[in-house]
Structure 1
Amino acid sequence: MITFPKNNIEKLVEKGINSKKEFDLFFKSHYTLFLSFACRYRLNTEEARDIVQDVFTSFWEQREHFNSILTIKAFFYRAISNRCLNHLKHEDVKSRYAERQLQEMQSEEFIQENIIREEVSLIVRRKVKELTPREREIILLSLQNKSNQEIADLLSISVPTVKTHKMHAYARLRTELEELRFLLLIL
């Protein structure tokens, strides 16, 4: 086993890091070293800083479990390594997901489906505009997931009145959009 001469800081914290002063000294003397280690995983400097900072925080929260400078350093190297690898794996998953999304968005089916959705939405909005002002107002509030009671309270009308306006509006929309429904079934 290779042994290196201990520096003053390592001698100071040889039995562990139990005080804020020892932690600050350890941080100041090892932060750059751990940051350099994290950067070897081809992370950008900001990502590496975040990881090293997280490991320092994690260490501080469990510092009483470490009884020597060697176990402390081993913890830091292993924790930084694991977090860097997890970060890279996560980035890889995000990249593959984005790639799949892009491929899907370039497909003819995706384009056609979205054209149909937009056109249907336009037709429905036009038909909703043709409703009476009160019916339109109630339908739009209903589309915002408002309950009949909430709509009644907002418009200062009774719940049965809300239900009646909804019933009339939906009946008109069904009649006016019947041919659209038939076309959508064919597609």
Structure 2
Amino acid sequence: MNQEDKILHLLKNGNKLGLELLFRQFYKPLVVYASKFVRTEQEAEDLVQEVFISFWEGDKFSSVQKYMRAYLYHSVKNKCLNYQKANGKIALCGIEDYANTLFESFPDDETFAEKVAAIKIEIEALPQRTRDIFMGVYFHKLSYGEVAEEFNISKNTVKTTLSRAMKTLRGRLSSEAFTLLLLLI
């Protein structure tokens, strides 16, 4: 049983030691990750603490079967984006930023790093225009209309291109890597 599974088991059994271990293992890397989205370290710390509180009090761990790390990162990302939206702040990150943060935060987790690397390789293997549309919508958070205007194509073409890209990535990536991709976008 790896450390994440142990923590999840403790949490599901109502043992507060699970929350303590969760905090020790993930707090600092999550603050580093959150700082990519917000301006100050204090904001990053506050948002990560809110995620932990929500995770514990909302009993959200009970629905997590696997990939708790991905769930936490996705939760922090959403919390940061909602914070930015509420405060009129925008900060965009690309796949490089995500990959660098994940590699820096988890140098000892080879499996996780391998999945991120596989995602990056497969995105890079997409045709140039498909890749640009995919990156624009999912990592630069542009609307379909903005991407359509940039490439001088229709919104339906953007949707079709994204659908084909996702189908291609689903076929090329392992199920775990594809799930991680869905959590990142």
Give the TM-score normalised by structure 2: 0.41
Larger relative CO (CA 8 A, sep 6+): 1 or 2? 2
Give the TM-score normalised by structure 1: 0.40
Greater C-alpha radius of gyration: 1
